[in-house]
Structure formats: C-alpha cells, structure tokens
C-alpha cells in the first residue's frame, strides 16, 4: 500500500522534472501569467501601500491606533473573501460589471492588489517608523517638509522595503482563493500556477501539479535569494 503510493509519487516527480526541463509551452504560459499578475499586483500594492505606511509612520493624528489595528487586521484578509468581494463588484450585475473585467488577468491583478496592499502598508509602516525614530530630530532640525521627510525615509529604507515588497509578492504568487474566483482558471487565459495545481490535483494529474509546485518553490526561493543577496551587499555598505 505504502509502496504503491511512494511509487506513484516517484513517477509523478519524474514526470514533473521532465516537464520542467522540456520547456512545455503550456507550462511556460501558466508560469509567465502567474509572474505577470503577481508582479503587477506587487507594484500597485507598493504604489498604494508605501505612501500609506509612510504617512501613518510619521503621522500623529487622532485615531492613529485604530488605523494601526485596522492595517494589521487587513494583513490577514482571507483570499477567498477578497475574491468574493471583487467578484461581486465585477460580475455582470455588479456596480463595475460594465467594465467586463471578470475572468480576465486584470481582475486577478485587482484582487491580489487588494489582498497585499495592507501587507505592504503595515510592514512598511513598521520599517519606516523605526527609521524615523532615528532620523526625526535631525530632519526636524533641517526643517524638512513632510513630503521631503517621507521621500528621504522611503529612500533610506529602500533595502528593508525590498523585503516588504517580497513579502507581498510571496503572498500574491502563492494564493489561490482570490484568483480562482475572479479569474476562473480558464485555460490559456487566466490559468496561473496555483489554480492549475488545484485543478490538476483534483483531476489526479499529479505530474503537472508537482511540476508547477516545483517551479513555484524555485521561484519563491530564487526571489528570496536575490533579495537576500542585494540586502547583504547593502549591509556591507551599512545602507540597511
């Protein structure tokens, strides 16, 4: 019994490795769409999340604590809930239905952006607040404007923020709940790695599922390694 299972897993692994190295066009298409959707969502999430994180980091306003709690709570948004909410907005009867975006990569980008913007905002808030504690008196002495302060903090925290962006990307590229609802896992259109893995596993095609799983792991490790290398180079110059 156990032997059989191990054997089938072994076969699947063999198939997976063969697929990865075969350069199968269907596989590549899925991988590229995954990267395209999640990287775009990460860029948007940074554009939205970094200014919010910076404003909350240096701001002293009423209700700041409530904002902090909200930001932290939103970090844990369940992907299926985000998917559902976006779905309700984009579906034909929804308020944005006229855009015709449901089951397109754009819808997937929107959902992932909503999912990871709070992550970028909350993590960058922490990073920028710590840095600001160090710089605040010096910046006030220089009579910097709020905008100059934010710009300087964002730039000086650049290597830490890279890790923040990576955390967002990691969450986006690995989630399945949101993209499967708003994307629909349509072959050659909205099929990404995670939704393909879910589908192939349920169909019993473990080889393709494992192949995609391996690629997903390699991408995650590769991006992490790249960011770590950049950070270590920066740390050697005391820029982190």
Partner 1 sequence: MFDAMAPRTQPDNLRGTNVAPILPMSMREVVLRFGETAVLDGVSLDLGLRGCTVIMGSNGAGKSLLLKLMHGLIAPCSGSIKWGDLAPSDVMVRQALVFQKPVLLRRSVAANVDFVLKARGKGIAARDALLEHVGLLHKSAQPARLLSGGEAQRLALARALATDPEVLFLDEPTASLDPASVLVIERIVADARKRNVRVILVTHDIGQARRMADDVVFLHRGRIAEHSPASQFFPDPHSSVARDYLNGKIVV
Alpha-carbon distance 151 to 172, whole Å? Answer: 26
**Binding residues among 123-142 for partner 1 as defined by CB under 8 A:** 134-135, 137-138, 140-142
Q: Which stretch binds partner 1 (CB under 8 A): 70-78, 84-92, 194-202, 232-240?
A: 232-240
Shortest spacing between CB 150 and partner 1, in angstroms = 13
Between 2 and 238, whose beta carbon lies closer to partner 1? 238
CB < 8 Å & 24+ apart, contacts of 55-64: 55/150, 56/121, 56/125, 57/124, 57/125, 57/126, 57/128, 57/129, 57/132, 57/153, 58/128, 58/129, 58/132, 58/136, 58/146, 58/149, 58/150, 58/153
Between 132 and 171, whose beta carbon lies closer to partner 1? 132
> Using the 8-state DSSP alphabet, how is residue 77 labeled?
-
Radius of gyration of the chain (CA): 21
Alpha-carbon distance 95 to 93, whole Å? Answer: 7
Residue 240 binds partner 1 (CB under 8 A)? yes
Residue 238 binds partner 1 (CB under 8 A)? yes
Between 129 and 200, whose beta carbon lies closer to partner 1? 129
Alpha-carbon distance 41 to 128, whole Å? Answer: 22
Shortest spacing between CB 135 and partner 1, in angstroms = 6
Q: Which stretch binds partner 1 (CB under 8 A): 110-118, 167-175, 176-184, 231-239?
A: 231-239
Between 91 and 135, whose beta carbon lies closer to partner 1? 135
Shortest spacing between CB 152 and partner 1, in angstroms = 7
Residue 202 binds partner 1 (CB under 8 A)? no
Tokens read off for 191: 């099929």
Cα–Cα separations (whole angstroms), residue 109 to 54, 102, 139 = 23, 11, 37
Shortest spacing between CB 52 and partner 1, in angstroms = 22
Binding mask 143-162 for partner 1 (x = CB under 8 A): xx---x---x--xx------
Cα–Cα separations (whole angstroms), residue 231 to 120, 161, 176 = 18, 10, 29
What is the total count of residues that contact partner 1 (CB under 8 A)? 17
Between 148 and 229, whose beta carbon lies closer to partner 1? 148
Shortest spacing between CB 219 and partner 1, in angstroms = 29
Between 152 and 223, whose beta carbon lies closer to partner 1? 152
Residues in touch with partner 1 (CB under 8 A): 134-135, 137-138, 140-144, 148, 152, 155-156, 237-240
């Amino acid at each position: 019994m156990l032997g059989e299972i191990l054997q089938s897993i072994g076969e699947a692994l063999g198939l997976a490795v063969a697929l990865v190295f075969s350069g199968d066009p269907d596989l590549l298409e899925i991988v590229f769409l995954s990267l395209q959707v999640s990287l775009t969502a990460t860029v948007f999430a940074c554009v939205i999340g970094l200014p919010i994180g910076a404003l909350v980091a240096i701001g002293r306003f009423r209700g700041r604590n409530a904002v902090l709690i909200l930001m932290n709570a939103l970090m844990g948004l369940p992907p299926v809930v985000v998917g559902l909410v976006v779905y309700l907005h984009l579906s034909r009867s929804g308020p944005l239905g006229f855009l015709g975006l449901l089951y397109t990569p754009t819808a997937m980008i929107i959902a992932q952006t909503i999912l990871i913007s709070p992550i970028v905002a909350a993590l960058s808030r922490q990073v920028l607040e710590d840095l600001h504690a160090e710089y605040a008196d010096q910046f006030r002495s220089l009579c910097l404007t709020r905008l100059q302060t934010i710009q300087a903090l964002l730039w000086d925290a650049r290597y830490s923020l890279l890790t923040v962006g990576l955390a967002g990307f990691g969450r986006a590229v690995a989630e399945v709940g949101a993209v499967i609802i708003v994307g629909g896992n349509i072959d050659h259109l909205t099929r990404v790695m995670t939704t393909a893995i879910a589908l192939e596993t349920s169909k019993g095609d473990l080889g393709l599922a494992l192949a995609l799983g391996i690629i997903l792991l390699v991408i995650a490790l590769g991006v992490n390694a790249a960011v770590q290398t950049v950070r270590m180079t920066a740390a050697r110059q005391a820029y982190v």
